Structure 1
Amino acid sequence: MARTKDTDTTEATPKKQGRLKQMVEVFKVTQAADRSTLPWMLGAFVAAIVVLTILSKLILGMIWYGIFLGLAVGLLAAMFILARKAESAAFNRIKGQSGAPLAAMQSIRRGWNVEDEPVQMDPRSQRMIFRASGRAGVVLVAEDGSGPSMKLLDKETRRVKRVLNNEPIPVHRIVVGDGEDETPLHKLPSYMTRMKKSLTKDESAAVSRRLAALTPSVRSAVPKGMDPTRTRGVSKKAMMRGGR
């Protein structure tokens, strides 16, 4: 039994060290991309300690309680800021790259069924359209507002509505970009998450099944020598490495 405990302890230690090393690496990469990361983290950490210490003194008449609570809250606040800064830095690194919207869509934790491959692709410009379905309906995402992208977006919109038999299921069109009526890449996940839910879980599942029956027309439009199954956008690991 003693050997088993020693083995469990040995296995747990590398895991903890691995997480700590990963957090350090995330901080280094994020700080290099955004120099305001450390000041914001330190500011949140100190502010939490000061505020909770003062409140503890005024309400409970104790200082130490506020300090200990402030340390815990301050650490959580600093980690929250690091996570947000890291996400923003990652999106900035992949911005403008082919498949970047798909990486952003796949970062949504739940609520959307995101297609792993582009559903439309222009063989000349290499512009792509991505699709997801959820309780808010169907979302079609274009990489930019260029002419080829808009033609592909219109084509996929007609295709989706046809398979849905023109039923009153919302089909949202999103154009990624920084222009008017466009959605910045880093705001795409939050924009989709906040969409109003208009379908039940069962209705959403039924829509997903019907869309899955569509044969990806992108395969016929891909130039010879290119595998559309490899056109999956930038992975999460690649986002942290700088999109390479």
Structure 2
Amino acid sequence: MAKNPSTTPSENAPKKAKKPNSFQQMIQVFQMTRRSDPNVVWLMALAFLVLVGVSLLVGFLLDNWVTGLIIGIMLGLLGAVLLLSRRAERAAFAQIEGQPGAAGAALSTLRRGWIIEEQPVAMNPRTQDLVFRAVGRPGVVLVTEGPASRVRQLVDGERKRLARILPNVPIHVVESGRDEGQTPIDKVAKALQKLKPELTKVEVQAVNKRLASLGTRLPIPKGIDPTRVRPDRRAMRGR
């Protein structure tokens, strides 16, 4: 009786999916952006042509149009990519806006120097209003999610609690949303970055350790998983 050919474990093991290269990532970002922003194609083409035209004109004036054309193409491609990055950021935030945990997702795009609490530090289970927290050189920042009139009591309670624990640390509040006086989701990170630094890096770490020792993590109501609501970071970086 013939024996079946044996198979090695490596043959049976599932193959690992290859990570997309930079060009493939760019294509994915472009496709995602075009779905929500069809005008991005024409805007990128316009940016490319304008930069090439200006560079070519300068080349003619300097009697070296070939160099001007080469530089113009490179500048045009760079300008188109930068424009795609901006439009992709808008598209990524548009996808998460209105979802529970969107404010926490906006905080995740902050650059170095900030310590972000991924889970909300205060919430209203009935209305699903949330308060997220970030610690940085400006102090402690509370970012709310919910209608301004409804979330104010929730954030005021958290701010008073922090004031008792950290009496000498500045506490700021940024209300995210579309109501009057609130900050749109796509501008939350910029609002925090504009705050004036008042703590040293050592003090930031000390404040974070103090908060971590309190064990402020809360149970998440059904239907809310802020850690899953995340904008596409590749889209944010344009790659």
Alignment map for 1:196-207 (pairs within 5 Å): 196-207=196-207
Partner of 1:177: 177
Residue of 69, 72, 97 corresponding to 2:71: 69
Instruction: Count residues with an aligned counterpart.
Output: 218
Residue of 85, 95, 98 corresponding to 1:96: 98
Most deviating of 230-239 and 43-52: 230-239
Q: CA shift at 1:233, angstroms? A: 5.1
Q: CA shift at 1:198, angstroms? A: 1.8
Q: Is the 8 A contact 1:44 1:78 kept in 2?
A: yes
Distance change in 2, residues 1:74/1:108 (3 Å): same
Partner of 1:27: 30
Q: Is the 8 A contact 1:117 1:231 kept in 2?
A: yes
Question: What is the RMSD computed on CA atoms of the aligned residues?
Answer: 2.3
Q: Secondary structure at the match of 1:142?
A: strand
Q: What is the percentage of aligned positions where both structures have the same residue?
A: 37
Name stretches of at least 5 consecutive residues in structure 2 with no aligned partner: 1-17
TM-score between both structures, scaled by the size of structure 1: 0.81
Whole-Å Cα distance in 2 between the matches of residues 238 and 100 of structure 1?
14
Q: Secondary structure at the match of 2:227?
A: coil
Larger relative CO (CA 8 A, sep 6+): 1 or 2? 2
* Bigger share in helix: 1
Distance change in 2, residues 1:233/1:155 (3 Å): farther
Whole-Å Cα distance in 2 between the matches of residues 233 and 26 of structure 1?
19
Q: CA shift at 1:237, angstroms? A: 4.4
Residue of 25, 44, 64 corresponding to 1:41: 44
Alignment map for 1:1-244 (pairs within 5 Å): 18-58=21-61, 60-164=62-166, 166-167=167-168, 169-216=169-216, 218-219=218-219, 222=220, 226=222, 230-232=225-227, 234-237=229-232
Q: Is the 8 A contact 2:102 2:226 kept in 1?
A: no
Distance change in 2, residues 1:147/1:199 (3 Å): same
Distance change in 2, residues 1:126/1:238 (3 Å): farther
TM-score between both structures, scaled by the size of structure 2: 0.83
* CA-to-aligned-CA distance 1:128-186 (integer Å, 9 cap, x gap): 1100010111110110234542222011101211111x11x221111111222210111
Distance change in 2, residues 1:47/1:237 (3 Å): closer
Alignment-mate amino acid for residue 158 of structure 1: K
Structure 1 runs, 4 residues or longer, greater than 4 Å off: 237-240
Whole-Å Cα distance in 2 between the matches of residues 179 and 146 of structure 1?
7
Q: Is the 8 A contact 2:121 2:217 kept in 1?
A: yes
Q: CA shift at 1:218, angstroms? A: 2.4
Whole-Å Cα distance in 2 between the matches of residues 141 and 188 of structure 1?
8
Whole-Å Cα distance in 2 between the matches of residues 187 and 213 of structure 1?
31
